[in-house]
């Protein structure tokens, strides 16, 4: 039995009371757990499912960035369930809050969808939806993809991700740096039940209850940031819908995740 399979039963037992039709699947290799669950959603399969991969060969991140994984070196999974919040704004931030609180006190959140550990990327989040219901309030299937480094990625992987002529990227972090000996399966058991509860809470109450929790782990607040459209400013936290507040020379600007990427200066 693999490490991931050894923890499936405990995850299922912790969630099934809230989601009676919930299932957990573990596959040895797949192109992308999120791509697979989006395919299922488009085919009309809406039962809640947690799909975990020992290995991803074509994982996807925000803005088309790849996220590949090797068995035991990272945890990659996607959660799909029907959801009908009054406002979808801030869901990726709520997911980040849930994961960070479960992982370690030192984990911080880089708006809008990165987990940071000691100023380095520990993991990423990708939120997508599918559905054809009538009206804005109709339930849609949300697919939440998560990738978390368990071991610190090898130097060769980091070098291969560098863009020609650009400054070398900061080496990513691994959870094992602060949780010695932790496995992917143990990490799944740490984060998955709380994640399901928090996503259901978001569906019922929106981002507002998560805002103070996000503020406690906000990695950008008070720092000078550079937006991909060339604007510089000081990050001032997020608004009630999860938009990043950036104080620029022209005044306060609200930045939404679909508009630009953000990096600290």
Catalytic residue numbers read 62, 121, 263
Sign of the CA dihedral with 83 first, then 11, 179, and 105 last: positive
CA distance 151 to 119: 16
Contacts of residue 137, defined as CB under 8 A and 6 or more positions apart, other chains included, come to: 84, 86
Six token digits for residue 93: 């931030």
Q: ω into residue 112 within 30 of 0, thus cis?
A: yes
Q: How many CB atoms lie within 10 A of CB 7?
A: 22
Six token digits for residue 146: 């998560």
CA atoms within 13 A on the CB side of 220: 29
């Amino acid at each position: 039995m693999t490490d991931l399979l050894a923890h499936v039963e405990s995850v299922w037992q912790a969630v099934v009371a809230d989601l009676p039709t919930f299932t957990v699947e573990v596959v040895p290799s797949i192109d992308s757990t999120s791509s697979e669950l989006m395919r299922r959603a488009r085919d009309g399969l809406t039962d809640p499912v947690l799909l975990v991969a020992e290995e991803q060969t074509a994982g996807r991140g925000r803005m088309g960035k790849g996220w590949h994984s090797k068995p035991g070196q990272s945890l990659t999974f996607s959660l799909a369930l029907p959801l009908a919040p009054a406002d979808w704004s801030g869901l990726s931030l709520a997911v980040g809050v849930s994961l960070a609180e479960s992982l370690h006190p030192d984990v911080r959140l880089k708006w809008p969808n990165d987990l940071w550990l000691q100023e380095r990327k520990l993991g990423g989040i990708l939120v997508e939806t599918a559905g054809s219901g009538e009206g804005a309030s109709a339930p849609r299937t949300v697919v939440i993809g998560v990738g978390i480094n368990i071991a610190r990625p090898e130097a060769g992987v980091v070098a291969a991700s560098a863009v020609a002529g650009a400054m070398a990227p900061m080496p990513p972090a691994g959870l094992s740096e602060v949780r010695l000996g932790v496995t992917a399966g143990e990490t799944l058991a740490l984060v998955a039940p709380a994640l399901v509860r928090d996503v259901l809470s978001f569906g019922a109450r929106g981002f507002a209850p998560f805002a103070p929790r996000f503020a406690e782990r906000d990695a950008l607040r008070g720092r000078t940031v550079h937006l991909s459209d060339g604007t510089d400013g000081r990050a001032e936290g997020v608004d009630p819908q999860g938009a990043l507040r950036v104080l620029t020379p022209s005044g306060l600007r609200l930045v939404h995740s679909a508009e630009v990427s953000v990096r600290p200066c």
